[in-house]
Chains A and B, each alone.
Chain A
Amino acid sequence: MTLATQTGKLPVERRGVFSKKLSGILEPYLYVSPALVLIIAVMLMPLILGLSYAFRDIRILNPFSGGFVGMAHFQTLMSDQAFLGALANTAWWTFGSLVFQFGLGLILALLLNRAFLGRGLIQALVFLPWAVPTFLSGLNWAWMFNPVVGPLPHWMTSLGLMAEPYNILSDPDLAMWGPIIANIWFGIPFFAITMLAALQSIPKELYEAASIDGATTRQQFISITLPFLAPTIAITLMLRTIWIANFADLIVVMTKGGPADSTQIVASYIFTQAFRRLDFGYASAIAAVLLVLLLAYALSVIALRRAMTHSDN
């Protein structure tokens, strides 16, 4: 009897062992696989494909294209004045936006970090620009700068900044300020939210201890707030630099890179090449250069940080 049940049970247990062990090992991958498949298919494969396009002649409307051209695109690039101008514009666009987004975002976060009447409502209102679709922010700011329907040129005239109301977006010297201001408006909430989250994670006891030790508000800010925010600031600034450098929507919507390429950044130039000229090979070559530049930037920032933290020790 005992023997019978024993022998009868054994194979069942064996199978149980196998399936549980296997399913235990496989389980996490089952959860992760849909995301992984999507990312590989829609982001990684196109990335590799895109890098290969950089060395090929790919024009959508030309049935004879598709051949290998080696470094030809990159040689063209070296003497492409539009591209070199776009490089300079990218730097100007990125840092111009970033400095104001960060500075104003930090101030806003500090203001919101103190309890006051109606804070919840105010917070929802000042963060609202983040929710406005970027194409709409672009259009809206373009309209705001338009002397026909927008108030901004008229105000600037009354302030004496302009002789007569005109659209700065059509002035090659000033046009870049248009997208930059729109970008500042759109980007302040992101920094404010991130900084606010970081501020709220600073233990209150630290401030209490510091004020008992006799630290003034300014000393508390320097000796507690800033050191606590520093890691968040460092990582957010780095990620945000890359993100803004890639962020072409506002420029495409507001100026299309013009007038006379004065607002063309590398990302919008890639888009123009791919979308208007359907020259995918050249667009991919520009994209490859941008990728390398951003990678170099990220690595040098990381290296710099490491060097700084090491010298601290």
Chain B
Amino acid sequence: MASIEIANARKSYGAVDVLHGIDLDISDGEFIVLVGPSGCGKSTLLRMIAGLEDITSGDISIAGNVVNDLQPKDRDIAMVFQSYALYPHMSVAENMSYALTLRKTAKEKIADAITNVADILGLSALLERRPKALSGGQRQRVAMGRAIVRKPQAFLFDEPLSNLDARLREQMRTEIRKLHRRLGATSVYVTHDQIEAMTMADRIVAMHDGIIQQVGSPVEIYDHPANIFVASFIGSPAMNFLEGTYETKDDNGADGAGIRLSDGSLVAVLPARGATNNQAVTLGARPEHITIAPDANSGLAARIDLIEPMGLSTLVHATLAGKPIKIFTMDRPDYAVDSTIHVSFDMEKVHVFDTKSELRLPPVIEPHPGHRD
């Protein structure tokens, strides 16, 4: 097992820059998830760690050695591909033992390793089959097995679950996590699925346009997103954004902080660091931080567009200040479409973003210091 350090790594194809100076330290045994929309550079970064793409400039080190110019085969890493990339003309056992055979490992040792890994992954009965005769989930397991058998310095995963159906994906998510706990191997996992990122990562690396936007634990990223991109990308249903202007006095002229929305209503927020009066800001509120008021006397008026029951909870789509918003509730509301409700924002949980820079302006005093990570 090993740490991975990436220092100012850049990648360009001709004049097109795909990665602009990536810095990232992955410690030994850590499970890192690179997440972002397609085209953000996450797969390229992973393939650069694997040695499948050249590094235009900068350094990548594995276990303290710069590997920039090592071939993939000399980096001692294993990779699980989105397509699984199983060798179609080899049996499951041959697929899993291929790397060991190439390293001239003793036959008995290979056999032991395969039996052991097949046992862990529940593949023992399938060892003689060809990949063609396996289900999608089984193929995925073989791809995992092929990686595990080698006991590499690090595991790289390139969207390994995106070809599975939803139920299987959920199951493999927990299995991979359990495996990681058992093997303790350094892992880099690429996905565009923020739920995978949230549930699996020790630390999430959120990427966009070839730049790392934020690195942090899932809770940290969810609760304290660095900017509008991270806030909107992480979390489902997504965060609501309402543009307005920052005001330091409330409607009664008392000192405070609030955001004046386009319809003239004012949403109270905690004073934000660095925000000035009349600054253009964006209010960010997760659906679970908006509550529907019991009566018309409090809160802002919103019009119901759609009620989406999700079983456990209900998602209410409404229009507020001319913008669509989503409200999460554990109740079973039965509002008619086009009826008016009143909503209020959880002042301690909503975020203030500078509209221009898109960066979050954190509160001057954190509401719950004990909860800071």
Contacts and interface: CB of A to CB of B under 8 A. Distances in A.
Contacts of B69: 13, 16-17, 20-21
A24 interface: yes
A20 B75 CA distance: 14
B250 interface: no
A16 B54 contact: no
Most buried by A among B54, B69, B71: B69
Report whether over half of chain A's contact residues are helix, strand or loop; otherwise say mixed: helix
A13 B64 CA distance: 14
B355 to A, nearest CB: 42
A16 B68 CA distance: 10
B71 A13 contact: no
Nearest to B68: A17
Contacts of A21: 69
Interface string B89-107: 0000000000000000000
A25 to B, nearest CB: 10
A20 B71 contact: yes
B238 interface: no
Interface in B38-84: 54, 66, 68-71
Nearest to B66: A13
B249 to A, nearest CB: 61
Interface in A1-51: 13, 16-17, 20-21, 24
A30 to B, nearest CB: 16
A13 B70 CA distance: 9
A24 B70 contact: no
A24 B71 CA distance: 10
B31 to A, nearest CB: 30
Nearest to A20: B69
A13 B54 CA distance: 16
A13 B69 CA distance: 8
A17 B70 CA distance: 8
Contacts, number: 11
A132 to B, nearest CB: 35
A163 B204 CA distance: 92
A5 to B, nearest CB: 11
Contacts of B66: 13
Contacts of A24: 54
Contacts of B54: 24
Contacts of A16: 69-70
Contacts of B71: 20
Contacts of A20: 69-71
Most buried by B among A17, A20, A21, A24: A20
Interface in B152-174: none
Interface string A95-131: 0000000000000000000000000000000000000
Nearest to A14: B69
Interface string B326-340: 000000000000000
A185 B82 CA distance: 49
A13 B68 CA distance: 10
Interface in A55-107: none
A175 B54 CA distance: 65
A13 B66 CA distance: 9
Contacts of A17: 68-69
A21 B66 CA distance: 15
Nearest to A16: B69
A213 B66 CA distance: 62
A87 to B, nearest CB: 49
A17 B54 CA distance: 12
Nearest to B74: A16
A8 B54 CA distance: 25
A13 B65 CA distance: 10
A17 B69 CA distance: 5
Contacts of A13: 66, 69
Interface in A260-279: none
Nearest to A19: B69
A222 to B, nearest CB: 39
A6 to B, nearest CB: 11
B362 to A, nearest CB: 41
A17 to B, nearest CB: 5
Contacts of B68: 17
Nearest to B71: A20
A113 to B, nearest CB: 28
A151 to B, nearest CB: 51
B48 to A, nearest CB: 14
Nearest to B54: A24
Nearest to A15: B69
A28 B70 CA distance: 18
Interface in B7-60: 54
A117 B70 CA distance: 57
B133 to A, nearest CB: 25
Nearest to A18: B69
B254 to A, nearest CB: 63
A59 B66 CA distance: 67
A221 B42 CA distance: 46
A95 B3 CA distance: 71
A96 to B, nearest CB: 48
A201 to B, nearest CB: 23
A11 to B, nearest CB: 14
A20 to B, nearest CB: 4
A229 B126 CA distance: 46
A21 to B, nearest CB: 7
A24 B52 CA distance: 12
Contacts of B70: 16, 20
A149 B66 CA distance: 80
A15 B69 CA distance: 10
A69 to B, nearest CB: 51
Interface of B: 54, 66, 68-71
Interface of A: 13, 16-17, 20-21, 24
7 contacts: A13-B66, A13-B69, A16-B69, A17-B68, A20-B70, A20-B71, A21-B69
Given A13-B69, A21-B69, 5 more contacts: A16-B69, A17-B68, A17-B69, A20-B69, A20-B71
Closest 6 CB pairs of A and B: A20-B69, A17-B69, A16-B69, A21-B69, A20-B71, A13-B66
